Amino acid sequence: MLTVLLLTAWRGRLQGGLLVAASAVTALWCGAAGLYAANGMPPFSALSLLEVLRNTGWFLFLLKLLGLHRGATRGVRLLSAVTLALCAGLAGLILANRYSMDILLAASPSTYFTNLGLLLLSVAGLVLVEQLYRNTAIEQRWAIKSLCFGVGVMFVYDFYMYADALLFDQVDNSIWSARGIVVAMMVPLIAMSASRNPQWSLHVFVSRHVVFHTAALLGAGVYLLFMAAAGYYIKAYGGTWGGVAQVVFLFGAVVLLALLLQSGHLRSRLKVFVGKHLFRNRYDYREEWLRFTQTLSTLERGATPKPTIVRAIADIVESPGGVLLERGEGGNFEPTACVNVDRSVAKRVDADAPLLGFLRDRGWVVFMDEYQRNPGNYDGLALPEWLEEIPDAWVVLPLMQSDTLVAFIVLTRSTTRGTLNWEDSDLLKTVGRQAASYLVMWQATDALSESRQFEAFNRLSAYVVHDLKNLVAQLDLVVDNSKRHLHKPGFMEDALQTIESASAKMNRLLGQLRKGRSETGPARSVDLAEVLETAVAARRANAPRPVLESCLEKLYVIADRDRLAAVIEHLIQNAQEASRSDGHVTVRLSADDGWALVEVEDDGCGMDADFIAERLFKPFDTTKGNAGMGVGVYESREFVRGLGGEITVESSVARGTLFNVKLPAMAAPMRQMRDQKAREAAN
């Protein structure tokens, strides 16, 4: 049988031809041995010569494989010469003696040398098998290990038999008689290796229907054998009613067998079992998985992922498109993506719909063709009316994450694919779980993005409310003082300046609300001394009045003037609120190795080290109760850091606080700009 299979599948390749020849000579030798055992024909000398020819065929095949793996090195050529010379010498010895069975059984010099030669041939075969296995790459050994084991066992048995013959001067009849069975047992192993090596040209296809019916017939036969044995024992030990019990039992067994053979569920399970375990897979799962993952991972920035998920799954079964229904608020499923499907066709599926319960509990893929032919396979599943009315509805695939139904996809019918089976179902369920993970990830990303937008808006609102609170405090102070100083011209001038400043700041806040907090005024060269004078002047109406010291140097920084003035003003305000009305608040400006240093010092209540480390710069943490927002110092530090600077604090309880604002400074920006323009003109 192996020879016929190899011969019909041979494609003219040398190694395949050598395998066919080795198998054919082995079959010829087996047939001759069987004829000799039956009637003593052909002569034993011809049988021995066929055995040498059998070994020579396997030697040539193994040497060819060994030469392919090792590139026909000098060692391989030497091994080839020795083994073939040994075969030729032993064949010549057999032809010269022409000994028969009588000579084989009797002790004689010719028998001894013949057995010794056959023993050496078995050793040579084992050496070739060992060299082939050892010189094959580890990742390729799975393809030849069955061949090595099968041919190796054949040579091991020959070694055992001829070693025993040399020891006892004759061949043992029992060992000789079992030899053919041992060789026949090795045929499946050789065929297995041949099927794993396409270059040996063995590729036999057996129809799934043939295997299914054969398996069913075999199962029925085994079942009837067991039932017959059980009926026999019932009759033998059933007493008076044994014969009646046997008839009833056998008739019931036949009826049960007929019912089982007519069971569509059992037949479906048997077909799936045969397809899974006896045939190659329809898909290259590695290629399908890589393609599916690549499709999902190459989603363009800003594009919605949901149509991509539908398209990636539809491509697996060559479907033109489909519709994705995703779980929404309240557990209802809404159509959220359509590919080559009219969106108006798909309708909402309520949370209590039988389809959702079935998909959630079973996780099955619903094949519409099978559902229409035999709804009983789906335990009486009821589909939504709009789904049954779609003529091209083909597959309903649940997207499951763990035990949660995230969404489901309805695929439309393919024009190139026929009936889908269990393998399509397994692949679709697997990619469905992967798609569900992607969908949940994208949902979480969208939710996080939306949450961050709300967080940014709330943060902006807190900053704006904080600034408005300060402006309201200034206006309240003007209103309170106006009752006592309204008749003074100086007060009126200061009040108008305060109102004008508050109006400008409110307009700036409105602009920030329209554009976002990150939209600030233009960053340009700012005279830091002027900024400090503006901030101090804005806080002089409050006690204690701030004093500006050591502000003789001209230092410039690159910043938004209004924002920088607001930061200094906020630090002055905090110093005033922490001090008594008769206390002192001092503002200084100095330079240190390219840095501008702004100091705001007070002699107020101060802060301990734990408060500075854990609470001072923490947003929304305030000691002012309902009067404070807790974002002023935090916002000031973030703004200064954005300019490349830093804010540090030195404070002692009951002794006061010193805020240090360190900013990168420019000594004379106008002169530097003129020098830069002069250099550009010269170039």
pLDDT mean over 593-601: 90
* Neighbouring C-alpha atoms within 13 Å toward the C-beta of 332: 9
pLDDT digits (tens, 9 = 90+) for 178-217: 888 888 888 888 887 777 776 665 444 444 454 445 556 6
Looking at the predicted structure, is the pLDDT value of residue 100 above 50?
no
> How much is the mean pLDDT over the chain?
75
Structure tokens of 423? 């393998």
Q: Which helix (H) or strand (E) holds 213?
A: helix 208-237
pLDDT mean over 411-425: 77
pLDDT digits (tens, 9 = 90+) for 522-551: 678 888 888 888 888 888 878 898 999 876
pLDDT digits (tens, 9 = 90+) for 267-323: 556 555 555 544 455 555 567 767 777 777 666 554 567 888 888 888 888 888 898
pLDDT digits (tens, 9 = 90+) for 321-373: 898 988 887 788 988 888 888 877 888 888 888 888 888 888 888 888 888 87
Which of residues 3 and 589 earns the better pLDDT score?
Answer: 589
pLDDT digits (tens, 9 = 90+) for 306-316: 888 888 888 88
Q: Indicate left, alpha or beta for 255 from its phi (over 0: left) and psi (-120 to 50: alpha).
A: alpha
pLDDT value at residue 612: 87
Q: Beta strand 546-549 with 585-592: parallel, antiparallel or unpaired?
A: parallel
What's the pTM value of the predicted model, to 2 decimals?
Answer: 0.39
pLDDT mean over 602-627: 78
pLDDT mean over 459-487: 68
pLDDT value at residue 599: 93
387 found inside a domain: yes
pLDDT value at residue 459: 62
Which residues, 6 or more positions from 252, have their beta carbon under 8 angstroms from its beta carbon? none
Q: Indicate the range of 95-104, 191-200, 658-667 predicted with least confidence.
A: 95-104
User: Where among 143, 174, 200 does a domain terminate?
Assistant: 200
Give the torsion through C-alpha atoms of 137, 140, 146, 149, to 10 deg.
0
Q: What pLDDT band is residue 670 in, cutting at 50, 70 and 90?
A: very low
Q: Indicate the range of 5-9, 219-223, 667-671 predicted with least confidence.
A: 667-671
pLDDT mean over 22-34: 85
For tokens 């519409």, the residue is 368
Looking at the predicted structure, is the pLDDT value of residue 379 above 80?
no
- The CATH number covering residue 665 comes to 3.30.565.10
Give the torsion through C-alpha atoms of 507, 510, 515, 516, to 10 deg.
120
Q: What pLDDT band is residue 634 in, cutting at 50, 70 and 90?
A: confident
Tell me: do 424 and 532 sit in the same domain.
Answer: no
Contact present, 526 and 557 (Cβ < 8 Å) = yes
503 found inside a domain: no
303 found inside a domain: yes
638 found inside a domain: yes
Structure tokens of 389? 């009315």
Tell me: do 137 and 82 sit in the same domain.
Answer: yes
Looking at the predicted structure, is the pLDDT value of residue 404 above 50?
yes
Which of residues 467 and 532 earns the better pLDDT score?
Answer: 532
pLDDT value at residue 587: 93
Which of residues 303 and 455 earns the better pLDDT score?
Answer: 455
Which of residues 575 and 87 earns the better pLDDT score?
Answer: 575
Helices (H), 486-560: 489-515, 528-538
Tell me: do 305 and 344 sit in the same domain.
Answer: yes
212 found inside a domain: yes
User: Where among 165, 200, 235 does a domain terminate?
Assistant: 200
Tell me: do 400 and 364 sit in the same domain.
Answer: yes
Q: Which helix (H) or strand (E) holds 16?
A: helix 14-39
CB under 8 Å, gap of 24 or more: what pairs does 513-518 form?
Answer: 513/460, 513/464, 516/456, 516/460, 517/456, 517/459, 517/460, 517/463
pLDDT value at residue 98: 58
CA distance 331 to 352: 9
Q: Indicate the range of 10-19, 327-336, 395-404 predicted with least confidence.
A: 10-19
Contact present, 399 and 408 (Cβ < 8 Å) = yes
Q: What pLDDT band is residue 678 in, cutting at 50, 70 and 90?
A: low
The radius of gyration of the chain from alpha carbons, rounded to an integer in Å, stands at 47
Tell me: do 213 and 194 sit in the same domain.
Answer: no
pLDDT mean over 564-571: 87
131 found inside a domain: yes
Tell me: do 272 and 225 sit in the same domain.
Answer: yes
∠468-472-476 over CA atoms, to 5°? Answer: 175
Tell me: do 546 and 606 sit in the same domain.
Answer: yes
Structure tokens of 571? 């630090």
Count of C-beta atoms within a 10 Å radius of residue 481: 16
pLDDT value at residue 106: 46
Tell me: do 73 and 167 sit in the same domain.
Answer: yes
pLDDT value at residue 71: 46
Tell me: do 26 and 156 sit in the same domain.
Answer: yes
User: Where among 278, 311, 335 does a domain terminate?
Assistant: 278
Looking at the predicted structure, is the pLDDT value of residue 479 above 70?
yes
Tell me: do 383 and 261 sit in the same domain.
Answer: no
pLDDT value at residue 246: 65
Structure tokens of 669? 């920006």
Which residues, 6 or more positions from 160, have their beta carbon under 8 angstroms from its beta carbon? 175
* Domains held by the chain: number: 4
Which of residues 511 and 279 earns the better pLDDT score?
Answer: 511
- The CATH number covering residue 401 comes to 3.30.450.40
538 found inside a domain: yes
Q: Indicate the range of 64-68, 441-445, 534-538 predicted with least confidence.
A: 64-68
469 found inside a domain: no
Which of residues 451 and 29 earns the better pLDDT score?
Answer: 29
Which residue range is the domain that position 335 belongs to? 285-445
Tell me: do 174 and 237 sit in the same domain.
Answer: no
pLDDT mean over 235-262: 68
Tell me: do 195 and 225 sit in the same domain.
Answer: no
Which of residues 495 and 601 earns the better pLDDT score?
Answer: 601
CA distance 372 to 251: 36
Q: Which helix (H) or strand (E) holds 277?
A: helix 264-278
Q: What pLDDT band is residue 99 in, cutting at 50, 70 and 90?
A: very low
Q: Indicate the range of 359-363, 412-416, 459-463 predicted with least confidence.
A: 459-463
pLDDT value at residue 283: 55
